[in-house]
A = this chain, B = another copy of it.
Amino acid sequence: MTTLWDRTRQLASQEILATALRLFTEQGYDETSIAQIAREAGVSQRTLFRYFGGKEDLLGGGQERFGQVLTDTISTQPAEADVWEVLRAAIAAVLALHESHEEALKRFRLLHRTASLRAGWLEKRLRFQDELLPLIKARMDSADGAAELRARAVIATAFACLDAATMVWVDDDGEGDVMDLYDAGLAAVRG
């Protein structure tokens, strides 16, 4: 059962998140201080840091779930499926998590335009890749060696193409479908 505490927490959390996203888009990420967000959201800095681990987490978008969704999707994929198919399905599943088109575009734009955010995101993405490694490795032909290297290369390439797709998508102001762009990018790579 949800207690009053839970509801209060939920409310405060949403208020903080909304305030942060508003200020970030209005004046930029680096130009917005934690103090300002806390003030305008009506909580103390200390509390804000208790709700969210750090400034980057205020962008929200539920990135914590991404890792789980990726691994889950891959695990439920048929054993005989091609690794590229498997990765495609995982990426599609993550993209499907985004709420609205506009929100996603807003967040992605912020992400790609702010160096510090971009760095943090890339780092997080690399951790996802590490989590995927054993799953993909198990699905690779273990006949010729260097399965680790090949698995790493394939995973990294898939994300690289997703990166390219996302960037083009953002540059075109959300024109077209990210998944189509991903396919086109991968096609350009694999010939």
> A residues within 8 Å of B by Cβ?
115, 118-120, 122-123, 126, 146, 148-150, 152-157, 159-161, 163-165, 167-168, 171, 181, 184-186, 188-191
The CA-CA distance from A156 to B185 in the complex, in Å, is: 10
> Closest residue to A148 on the B side, CB-wise?
B168
Q: Are B189 and A146 in contact (CB under 8 A)?
A: no
Question: How many copies of this chain does one complex carry?
Answer: 2
Check A188–B148 contact: CB distance below 8 A.
no
Which B residues lie within 8 Å of A165 (CB)?
149, 153
The answer to whether residues A152 and B168 also contact, given A157-B157, A160-B157 and a CB cut-off of 8 A, is: yes
- With a cutoff of 8 Å between Cβ atoms, the chain B residues found around residue A146 in the complex are 168, 184, 188
19 of the cross-chain contacts (CB-CB < 8 Å) are A119-B119, A119-B120, A122-B122, A148-B171, A149-B168, A149-B181, A149-B185, A152-B163, A152-B167, A153-B161, A153-B165, A153-B184, A153-B186, A156-B163, A157-B157, A157-B160, A157-B189, A189-B189, A190-B190
Given contact pairs A146-B184, A148-B171, A153-B188, enumerate 14 new A-B contacts (beta carbons under 8 Å).
Answer: A118-B126, A122-B123, A146-B168, A146-B188, A149-B164, A149-B181, A150-B184, A152-B163, A152-B164, A152-B168, A153-B189, A156-B161, A157-B161, A190-B190
